[in-house]
Amino acid sequence: MRNRRQHRRSDSRDEYEEGPQEGNRRQHRRPDSREEYEEGNRRPQSREEHQNRRPNRRVQLQPREEHQDRRPNRPSPVREEHQEIPKEEPAPVDPQKEFFEWAKTQRHKDTWVMNRKALIDAPRAQRILASEGSKILIEGFNQSEGDTEMIELRAEVQLSRGKVSNPLRKMELDDRTKPADEELKNGRKSVVTKIVVLTGTQVFPSEVNGEKHPLFPVLILRGILEHKEGSKDQEKAAERAKSYFFMPTYPGQLMLPPGQAF
């Protein structure tokens, strides 16, 4: 078997040496270049002659320094990843404008009642009412030092009207939370009621049956304030209470104690 393989290989080699036979599609085997050099058919070519004979189709590589000089002067992508992009801080929102926009989205004659706990943990939809409504009612007292605290807030909004109408009955104080007359006289607690018109930039005071622009919402606010014992706010609240309890009445004049009716 081994002799047959060697015989076949020798036959194929003879075919290449004699030339292509009929029906044989293989090309004539190229003679070894080393044999050509030994026989002297052609002399060996140098490397320079070989490069000149065949055109060099490869792209000529430029030196690294010249190649880098032609690149545009831009930071590497690695550095861009580590560069910190400054975050744009949101513009501060004006509380009065936010309060105005919130009031316009409500329905006419909507009413809210918020106790002490609800004022502290107010939901997001009523947070602006709790903060701005309390600020309007506590105006004139010292809230920064904790001498006055809002313990109950009632609010009603009126929209698309050219005149302020009477508030709903829900705005009247509850008998369970209404301050006693003694607490109002000594200034421990006070009841403050205000009617304001919101314009988006300012807050204007108003009254029942007062005229206003139909596009400006109206808020009727009523709150119960608690004043710290021995503070100046307590003295101020006691002075205000005298106008309700000790002011002489005249014929035809009706004096209502605070917290009863408008």
**Averaged in consecutive runs of 10 residues, what is the pLDDT profile of the chain (262 residues)?**
51 50 51 52 60 56 54 56 61 84 94 93 90 93 87 95 92 92 93 94 92 92 94 92 63 45 50
Q: Which two tokens stand for residue 21?
A: 């036979």
DSSP 224: E
pLDDT at position 254, please? 39
- Taking phi over 0 as left and psi of -120 to 50 as alpha, with beta for the rest, 72 belongs to beta
pLDDT at position 94, please? 85
- 3-state percent breakdown (helix, strand, coil) of the chain, nearest 5: 35, 15, 50
pLDDT at position 244, please? 73
Whole-model pTM?
Answer: 0.60
The rounded Cα 137 to chain-centroid distance in angstroms is 31
pLDDT at position 42, please? 56
pLDDT at position 93, please? 74
The rounded Cα 244 to chain-centroid distance in angstroms is 49
Distances in Å between the alpha carbon of 79 and those of 74, 75, 111? 10, 7, 58
pLDDT at position 223, please? 95
Q: Which two tokens stand for residue 247?
A: 């002011």
DSSP 195: E
pLDDT at position 143, please? 77
